Amino acid sequence: MLNLLPCTVRTCEGLSRRNFLQVGALGGLGVSLPQALANEALAKSATGSSGKPTNCILIWTQGGTSHHDTFDPKPEAPIAIKGEFGVIDTAIPGVQFTEVVPRMAQYANQFALLRSWNPLNGSHGTADQYVLSGRKFNPAMHYPTVGAVASWHHGFQTVMPPYIQLGTAVDSRFGGGKAGILGIQHDPFVIQGDPSAVGFAVRDITPPAGITAERVSRRRSVLNAVDGLMRPSSLQPKTFDALDNHYKTALDMVTAAQTQDAFLVDKEDPKLRDSYGRNRFGQNLVLARRLIEAGVRFVTVTDGGWDTHANNFPALKNSLMPRIDQGIPQLIMDLEQRGMLENTLVVWLTDFGRTPKINSASGRDHWSTAGFAIMAGAGIPGGAVLGATDGEGGVPIKHEYFSEDLMATIYHKLNLPMDLHATSPDGRPVRLQEGRTIREWV
């Protein structure tokens, strides 16, 4: 349930208003919306933005996608480095990818590729925190992910939460994907369901069986009646007002037709859904686009299983890359055809790169000094291939950029101030990013 306030207000019979809400007024609705809904007023009153905010769909392939075997092949290197895959030409003259990304190669002029990202990190968990926030892990300071910053700074556009995460393939042990010092009200609303499954429904958004709109209305009336009885004796009327607003936000989201419609992927043209791929990742991309249309500012689409220490090549060829290779180009084209690409940034990030040398298990291990990143839309130049690594794909040799710089570029595109500060729990001002934008892309 929504635990919005540390205090409770009790009736003379010993039942707190919070307890009442849990046992009856909202419990039957399944309303345990995350704290992203708990402070709409705060989100709206955060530091004002300059310019029209751009939305973002960020794709996170958790585990560390191999740069050697996708977008930075080394065909002239020994077999122990270049691996099993051949190379193919792309839509960009003189640029080659590996054979397992044929559609990405065909549509390479639709996105920008950075081949000289230096992750400066080869550990899971801290990677999720560092890459998605642009600030190195600090156990004493939980830096917020960029989606949470967009929620905090730009606020709500509609009744939809500003920040939604599709899937659970983000390691949050060290704050990855979270709001950190901005507060849990700006954590993502996480959707765990599989939109490719028959009968897909979103927990906390879809009322349980038997709970009709009429019953929702009656329960709201009961809640209002209880408020009326308790408010005159309340010693904290402002606190009550805040709590009411938070529950109103949750109820509005549950009952709004806009909310219900956004999650109905079945309303999409079946042929369009086929073009994305009838799998969880592909249908999450369809859902992400629908959520952006419905007013969500930032959607993270997660995909797990990329930690290929063993059987790297069959895993990439047969299961991991096909869904990515089909889904991402289709998302970019779909956004463009709908006139949404101009104001929607598409980003593909991962933990880090993988080792130049193939290990004894036919896999690649973690590599902390080289990897790739991809961006499209929001003015990112399509077909731009930036940077290069050495002959083994071990280190960048030109146009080296870091996770801080990727995040600074995303901040720039989302109209988030470069000098944006938040306040730490102990009252200190904290600068949220310290990178430099990728100047060739902005």
Question: What DSSP letter does each residue of 221-257 carry, written as one string?
Answer: HHHHHHHHHHGGG-S-HHHHHHHHHHHHHHHHHHH-H
Give whole-number Cα distances, 232 to 10, 235, 242, in Å.
13, 9, 16
Tokens (6 digits) for 423? 């306040």
Residue 24 is predicted with a pLDDT of 38
Query: Helix (H, G, I), strand (E, B), or coil: what is residue 174?
Result: coil
366-391 per-residue burial string, b: 16 or more CB within 10 A, e: under 16: bbbbbbbbbbbbbebebbbbbbebee
User: In angstroms, rounded to a whole number, what is the distance separating the alpha carbons of residues 361 and 309?
Assistant: 7
**Of 435, 421, 436, the residue nearest 143 (C-alpha):** 421
User: In angstroms, rounded to a whole number, what is the distance separating the alpha carbons of residues 190 and 231?
Assistant: 34
pTM: 0.83
User: In angstroms, rounded to a whole number, what is the distance separating the alpha carbons of residues 228 and 11?
Assistant: 12
Q: What are phi and psi of 329, to 5 degrees?
A: -60, -35
- Compute the chain's Rg from CA coordinates: 23
Query: Helix (H, G, I), strand (E, B), or coil: what is residue 143?
Result: coil
Residue 13 is predicted with a pLDDT of 35
Chain centre distance of CA 85: 30
Output DSSP code: residue 265.
G
Domain ranges of the chain: 17-35+210-256, 47-206+263-431
Q: Which amino acid is at 96?
A: Q
Residue 202 is predicted with a pLDDT of 83
334 touches 94 (CB < 8 A) = no
User: In angstroms, rounded to a whole number, what is the distance separating the alpha carbons of residues 321 and 136?
Assistant: 29
Output DSSP code: residue 145.
P
Give whole-number Cα distances, 348 to 49, 61, 62, 314, 376, in Å.
25, 8, 11, 22, 9
CATH assignment, 47-206+263-431: 3.40.720.10
Residues recorded for the chain: 442
Query: Helix (H, G, I), strand (E, B), or coil: what is residue 432?
Result: coil
**Of 288, 166, 216, the residue nearest 30 (C-alpha):** 216
Q: Which amino acid is at 120?
A: L
The tens-digit pLDDT sequence of the chain (442 residues) is 333 333 333 333 343 434 433 333 344 334 444 444 444 444 443 333 445 679 999 999 999 999 999 999 999 999 999 999 999 999 999 999 999 999 999 999 999 999 999 999 999 999 999 999 999 999 999 999 999 999 999 999 998 999 999 999 999 999 999 999 999 999 999 999 999 999 898 866 655 555 555 665 666 566 566 666 555 555 555 554 544 544 555 566 666 667 778 999 999 999 999 999 999 999 999 999 999 999 999 999 999 999 999 999 999 999 999 999 999 999 999 999 999 999 999 999 999 999 999 999 999 999 999 999 999 999 999 999 999 999 999 999 999 999 999 999 999 999 999 999 999 988 999 999 999 999 999 9
Q: Which amino acid is at 220?
A: R
